[in-house]
Every structure is written in structure tokens, then in C-alpha cells.
Amino acid sequence: MLHVQESVLEINFKALQQNFEFLKSKTKAGTKMLAVVKAFGYGSDATEIAKYLQDELNVDYFAVAYIREGAYLRAAGITTPILVLHPQLINLKHAIAYNLEPSLYNDRILTAFAKEAAKQGKKDYPVHIKFNTGLNRLGFFHTDAPHVVQKLKTLSQIKAVSIFSHLAASEDANEKTFTQNQIRLFNNVAEAFEKGLPYKPMKHMTNTSGILNYPEAHFDMVRSGIGLYGFGNDPKYAKNLRPIASLKSVISQIHRIEKGESVGYNRAFVAEDFTTIATIPLGHADGINRRFGNGVGSVLINGKKAPIIGNVCMDMIMVNITGIRCDEGDEVIIFGEGQTAEELAAKVNTISYELLTAISQRIKRIFLR
């Protein structure tokens, strides 16, 4: 690893490869792999992640949340099929312009996209039909399957290349009965499609936890988001996944303050004795939530934990380095080796996803290949 001289997010492609290959090893031969690269690749860099997955690992599909995310990938040279999970009506024409495959999750968007595809003279344009089996977020209700099948039979401009659903609690062993019922409902949907259409769409349902815990739901393709980036929701698999991102910075300045002196806005920290503090060039504008202040979160300096003191500023945090041997310019690890994003996020009762996706685009990305 590099010794950094500014705030950087290091992205380790070897770890990405390890995660991809581990998840792939959990599926049977022939099962397609879909990589979720929404939210700027879970806060890393969607285009660089996608290029590596496409060019080096031969991933079968990508998924993004919105059409604009897919357009960026196409502009960067990504040619692999891209599923758009939550397309908006206003952007549907751009989905076709960039050869993106929309998820159609209700009658309104199905009708609107079919109209746009017809307007552009398309035939058998690939779409994905989303069914709600219990997450209650997006999707046709599972009992709508016959209605959707009949509608698709009248629309030659589009073709359902897949049907899919999303597990709600695949990481929770206490919800096994609920998850198994979701799988049962999805199988009913699939049966309606297989009986009603002259072709057989792909089926996919599992997220990272589903890949690991419900092999019976792997079907034709599996989807992984957080697992590719090095995190799972089951401790027994943690040793097989490596976080790909490390957030690092440097000590800008060291202060030695006396008892009674304060640090930062609103004098939120007041020294009870002689205290040595370091200022780090990262703040809430970079994704370090204010909740990490006042001793809740910490960073690593020369292998020692230094608590964040006072209020997190927009561009800076201050940490207590009393008793830690260090100098201005020394490297600081916010998350990475010695403290994962998951461990740091837990300090404020949240999850790794929130911390990772909050990292500002102004933080320089460094790619370790």
C-alpha cells in the first residue's frame, strides 16, 4: 500500500477479484453473475469497478439504480448489459438511447416504456419485469403475473429477458420461513410466465446474502452488491470477503493544549488535562458524519486508535493523539486495515453501505491493481 500525502480512497482490485470469485464459487456452473454498481460503485468508482469486472472477470450483467448512472457507464465504454432498477418516466427515451434495460415494476411504467419503444421503432427491446414478493418497495404484486403475461403478449416492441424479485431478510436466520415463502411466491410467478409466453425469461432473486444462504433461489442469475465490495451479512463468510476500499488521510497539524482549552465549534471538547490533538483534512462534506464526533468514532494512527473529539467540521476532524507517537504528515486510516467500514459504521448504529456511499467525490481515488 502507498503512504498517502492527502485524503484518498484506495480501491484494491485484487480484493474485488477475490470477492467476485468467492461469490461465483457458491453458484452452480452456468449461473450468470450480475454486479450491482449503483451509487458510484457503492462509493468507490462505478466506471473503474465496471471496467475491471467487464474486462478482467467477464461479469454477465450490471445493475444501476437510475438511467443516468447507466449512461455514465456507457460513456465510459461499458458494453455489458445494464439493468436499470428504478427508471423514471422522464428519462425513458434515454434508456433506449444508451441501450439500457429497464426494470418495469408497475402498469404505469410498463405502458410508458412500451409506448416509447414503439415510438422509436423497436422490436423485442429487452426489459426486466420486477415482482414484489414481500419487500413491498417496488414491483408488480405476485398475483399480477397472469395480467402482465397477457399484456406482454400484445407488445411486440418489448421482450421480457428476465423476471426478478428481491429478498427482504435473506441475512436473518429468524426470517427463514418468510424468505422461503418469498421464493415460493416467485416460483409461482415464474410458472405463470413459462406457461403463458412462447419464450422463457431468465429468473433472478438473490442478493449477496441470498447467494450465500439460499442456493435454491439462485435460478439463472444472482445479483451481488455489497459482497463485491467486501462485506456480507453473515459472520461465517466474513473471512472470505475482503473490503476493497480504504479511506486514508494525513495529519495536517498537531496542537498541544492545556487544561480548560476547547477544540472546534461550540467548544464541544474541553481538555481535562494537557492534551495533544491532530487535525485531519476530512469532514462531513467528505462523508464523515457529525455523529462520529465527540468521542464516538476514531481513526488509526501508527496502529493506535485516536478518538474524534469535538464536532466534526465540514472539511476537518480533530483527534486526540495524547500518548500516540506521531508527527505532522503521518498517515491516518479512517477505515481499512485495522478498522473496517463496517466496524466504524457500527459506532453510530448504521451499516457499511451508508458510510461507503457517503464518501465525497472530491476525495481522490487511487486504484491498486
Domain-embedded: residue 14: no
Q: What CATH number is associated with residue 163?
A: 3.20.20.10
Given 38, 130, 203, 248, the catalytic residue:
38
- Write the DSSP symbol of residue 216: G
Distance CA 249, CA 8 (A): 6
Domain boundary among 229, 262, 286: 229
Q: Give rounded-to-5 percent helix, strand, coil for the chain.
A: 35, 25, 40
Residues in the chain: 369
Domain-embedded: residue 20: no
Given 14, 119, 153, 265, the catalytic residue:
265
pLDDT values of the chain reduced to their tens digit, one per residue, 369 residues: 458 899 999 999 999 999 999 999 999 999 999 999 999 999 999 999 999 999 999 999 999 999 999 999 999 999 999 999 999 999 999 999 999 999 999 999 999 999 999 999 999 999 999 999 999 999 999 999 999 999 999 999 999 999 999 999 999 999 999 999 999 999 999 999 999 999 999 999 999 999 999 999 999 999 999 999 999 877 778 789 999 999 999 999 999 999 999 999 999 999 999 999 999 999 999 999 999 999 999 999 999 999 999 999 999 999 999 999 999 999 999 999 999 999 999 999 999 999 999 999 999 999 998
Amino acid in position 261? E
Same domain for 175 and 304? no
Distance CA 226, CA 63 (A): 13
Domain boundary among 229, 263, 286: 229
Told to judge if 119 belongs to the known catalytic residues of this protein, a careful annotator would answer no
Same domain for 218 and 284? no
**Full-model pTM:** 0.94
Distance CA 349, CA 344 (A): 9
| Number of domains the chain contains | 2
Domain-embedded: residue 17: no
Domain-embedded: residue 299: yes
Told to judge if 265 belongs to the known catalytic residues of this protein, a careful annotator would answer yes
Domain assignment of residue 170, given as a range: 31-229
Distance CA 207, CA 226 (A): 9
Domain-embedded: residue 191: yes
Strand 32-36, strand 8-12: pairing: unpaired
